[in-house]
């Protein structure tokens, strides 16, 4: 899964990138989006996926878990290290944010970023936990009801259901 759930209109831009149409090139010069942890949205990962499991729409990457074979090509292609392997489960959620900065900074660069409020980790039997300023999930403890409750309470809606 991709740890960035923001679409084009969620991502702030204060620079204009006019270079090669690759994520790696854009990241090297610091262009495209203000969030230095988010998906650049130029599709390097999509181009290297042998099964067509990745799709790019409105600068957001989606992963079809039924097609993913776990080859790791997307992990190698992504200059922001946004891909994470998740265990195959029928109902699974994830934090679609990779920004480790504080909530104040996150709000200035993305509408969908984790603001480190910790509400998801406070849900009873929550598999979510905070590590610094970012929420993560312990998939070994992931039960459906606490995941759904945490998703419903997330103020930025960065907790998303993965299509397993």
Q: What is the 3-state secondary structure (H, E, C) of the chain?
A: CECCCCCHHHECCCCCCCCCCCHHHHHHHCCCCCCCCCCCCCCHHHHHCCCCCEEEECCEEEECCCCCCCCCHHHHHCCCCCECCCCCCCCEEEECCCCCCCHHHHHHHECCCCCCCCHHHHCCCCCEEEECCEEEECHHHCCHHHHHHHHHHCCCCCEEEECC
Ordered mean pLDDT values, 10 residues apiece, the chain (164 residues): 95 90 92 92 97 96 92 96 84 92 96 97 96 95 92 96 74
Would you state the pLDDT for residue 75?
Answer: 96
- Does the reported pTM lie above 0.75? yes
Would you state the pLDDT for residue 162?
Answer: 84
Q: Which domains does the chain have, with CATH numbers?
A: 8-77 (3.30.70), 92-162 (3.30.70.20)
């Amino acid at each position: 899964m991709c740890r960035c759930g923001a679409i084009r209109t969620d991502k702030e831009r204060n620079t204009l990138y006019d270079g090669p149409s690759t994520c790696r090139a854009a990241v090297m010069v610091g262009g495209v989006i203000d969030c230095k942890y988010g998906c650049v949205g130029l599709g390097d990962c999509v181009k290297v996926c042998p099964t067509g499991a990745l799709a790019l729409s409105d600068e957001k990457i989606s992963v079809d878990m039924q097609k993913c074979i776990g080859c790791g090509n997307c992990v190698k292609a992504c200059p922001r290290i946004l891909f994470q392997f998740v265990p195959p489960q029928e109902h699974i959620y994830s934090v679609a944010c990779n920004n480790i900065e504080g909530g104040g900074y996150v709000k200035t660069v993305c509408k969908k970023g984790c603001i480190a409020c910790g509400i998801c980790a406070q849900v009873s039997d929550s598999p979510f936990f905070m590590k610094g300023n970012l929420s993560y999930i312990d998939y070994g403890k992931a039960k459906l009801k606490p995941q759904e409750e945490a998703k419903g309470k997330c103020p930025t809606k960065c907790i998303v259901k993965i299509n397993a």
